Chains A and B, each alone.
Chain A
């Protein structure tokens, strides 16, 4: 059974030979540079990595030989999150800076930061989003298609017999709105400028639809449709305790737009499954997301309120594939002992693996404070106890 067959079984709610493993198939199931280097050195694997797909979060995609050794069943195909990263970044002292194509300024200080932090928001100086959109607009994806085609042409050979994931080019609808407007202002705009909030969400939706169209065009031109099994979108809609904005506002403003995206992806590639990442306590809106066309849910942050794995599997396991939730990344993976890591992976496999519908990944990217010992405790346990 090859990796593609393994994942196809899992996402069709069947048991394969083992639970599939996703490393670096998306920008939310990856590994940060420092943790990667430490872990690979420990077992003598290559520490080389590909061009950084998402330098903001400092994750790296291991080179193909390492992904093979790590038995990752997935390969990512998609635009780089920061286009022309190597060309647009500058360095002053220890601080790297870049302005991305959304006109957001990001900085990373090598002496203390593990991620780029955002410093400016293109609409923050305006009284309202409505006013700001008279002076600034969401970038047109058509300006970046040529660069994307060059980048994905480099990625495509790795699809091989793996589960191909067509991955998003930018953050989610509300996430992009927050980055563009500034966090507190956007949240208050929901009350003070609802029309502006809707317009910005709509502009980002159109940007995403244009991206998906250009990516699917290329996939069709290359005849690679059968190599793609999953289309990956995202947003971050939840805190540890609840959704960030009310479920009703999500149902009104956000979920219908995801529905349009998912209808489009299914229209272009009827065989794919729609994947979405949203952290946090989002149980109240899971039925709405399913109704809107969601097939695969990530990251399954089971430490958040009302997100326990048994309950999710029981109540949504027929409708949703759980992709993630393999181990807690806020506590166990970074602060636990290797034994605790191993015990948690076993406990979760017992809950999630039966009947398929589960692809293993930690709750989020493996962060830089994860020791090599803990990474390998997770991996060894998965490979041993993840067999059906």
Chain B
């Protein structure tokens, strides 16, 4: 019988090979993907996120954990086709137009994915049209926008205004983040929430989809 605590350890310590090996064993033994994800993978990602938030883990640790988590998820995802219950919600995420910085955004994307969200990562330099198109196409619950620069963060308001103009603002929650972004700025531009770190972003996303 596979000890799934080894999967938890593998993800927490960023060990891809171990994560893949344990996942394969668990699948071979007929353990439900949902049980593996909820019982171990999400918990490991929550723990690494918490350590990151508390300054006990750093960017390399988070990237390695995400890598191990994705290795496991790649095995499980094909086995879950059609099971709607697996997704906590759909998130479209991107760095806004004019801004090419993506590490922070990718960490948020990985944390959301690792914690059970379906994530559509649009990349960097994303226009309002692209955000809206992707949100419509994937019937997203949340749009996450990131900006590193004081000079590009204002574009977030343009995206929100464009969502209003397109008549879809009410269908989707908007979360924002990035170094110069603040809670006050989020309120000022009419976003639904702001998080200063990847762990907080997961908590916020859970709250927003529950509303």
Chain A residues whose C-beta falls within 8 Å of the C-beta of B100 in the assembled complex: 117-118
Query: How far, in Å, is B152 (CB) from chain A's closest CB?
Result: 9
Closest to B155 in A: A112
Q: 0/1 per residue, A333-352, Cβ < 8 Å to B? A: 01100000000000000000
Q: Are A246 and B58 in contact (CB under 8 A)?
A: yes
Query: How far, in Å, is B78 (CB) from chain A's closest CB?
Result: 25
Q: 0/1 per residue, A160-204, Cβ < 8 Å to B? A: 000000000000000000000001100110110000000000000
> Given that A188-B64, A331-B182 are contacting pairs, would A369 and B150 also be in contact in the complex, using a CB cutoff of 8 Å?
yes
Chain A residues whose C-beta falls within 8 Å of the C-beta of B23 in the assembled complex: none
Q: B39 near A: Cβ within 8 Å?
A: no
Q: 0/1 per residue, A353-370, Cβ < 8 Å to B? A: 000000000000001110
Closest to A192 in B: B64
Cross-chain contact of B196 among A118, A240, A245, A335 (Cβ < 8 A): A240
Q: B106 near A: Cβ within 8 Å?
A: yes
Chain A residues whose C-beta falls within 8 Å of the C-beta of B61 in the assembled complex: 246
> Given that A112-B97, A190-B60, A244-B59 are contacting pairs, would A184 and B151 also be in contact in the complex, using a CB cutoff of 8 Å?
no
Bound-complex Cα distance A191 to B16 (A)? 12
Bound-complex Cα distance A309 to B151 (A)? 26
Chain A residues whose C-beta falls within 8 Å of the C-beta of B149 in the assembled complex: 114
Query: How far, in Å, is B84 (CB) from chain A's closest CB?
Result: 32
Bound-complex Cα distance A184 to B64 (A)? 10
> Given that A240-B179, A331-B182 are contacting pairs, would A184 and B55 also be in contact in the complex, using a CB cutoff of 8 Å?
no
Chain A residues whose C-beta falls within 8 Å of the C-beta of B106 in the assembled complex: 184
| Residue tally, chain A, CB below 8 Å to B | 29
Q: A241 near B: Cβ within 8 Å?
A: yes
Q: 0/1 per residue, B161-182, Cβ < 8 Å to A? A: 0000000000000000001101
> Given that A241-B55, A242-B55, A368-B151 are contacting pairs, would A184 and B180 also be in contact in the complex, using a CB cutoff of 8 Å?
no
Query: How far, in Å, is B54 (CB) from chain A's closest CB?
Result: 9
A-B CB pair tally, cutoff 8 Å: 58
Q: B123 near A: Cβ within 8 Å?
A: no
The dominant DSSP class at the B interface is loop
Q: A221 near B: Cβ within 8 Å?
A: no
Q: B197 near A: Cβ within 8 Å?
A: yes
Chain A residues whose C-beta falls within 8 Å of the C-beta of B43 in the assembled complex: none
Q: Are A245 and B64 in contact (CB under 8 A)?
A: no
Q: A2 near B: Cβ within 8 Å?
A: no
> Given that A184-B103, A330-B179, A367-B151 are contacting pairs, would A241 and B63 also be in contact in the complex, using a CB cutoff of 8 Å?
no
Cross-chain contact of B63 among A117, A188, A239, A305 (Cβ < 8 A): A188
Chain A residues whose C-beta falls within 8 Å of the C-beta of B60 in the assembled complex: 187-188, 190-191, 245-246, 249
Chain B residues whose C-beta falls within 8 Å of the C-beta of A241 in the assembled complex: 53, 55, 196-197
Closest to B62 in A: A187
Q: Are A243 and B58 in contact (CB under 8 A)?
A: yes
> Given that A112-B98, A188-B63, A240-B196 are contacting pairs, would A245 and B151 also be in contact in the complex, using a CB cutoff of 8 Å?
no
19 further contact pairs, Cβ within 8 A, besides A241-B55, A241-B197, A367-B150: A184-B63, A184-B103, A184-B106, A187-B59, A188-B64, A188-B67, A190-B60, A191-B14, A241-B53, A242-B58, A243-B58, A244-B59, A249-B58, A249-B60, A330-B179, A330-B180, A331-B150, A335-B150, A369-B150
The 7 closest A-B pairs by CB, nearest first: A187-B60, A242-B55, A330-B180, A117-B100, A190-B60, A112-B98, A246-B58
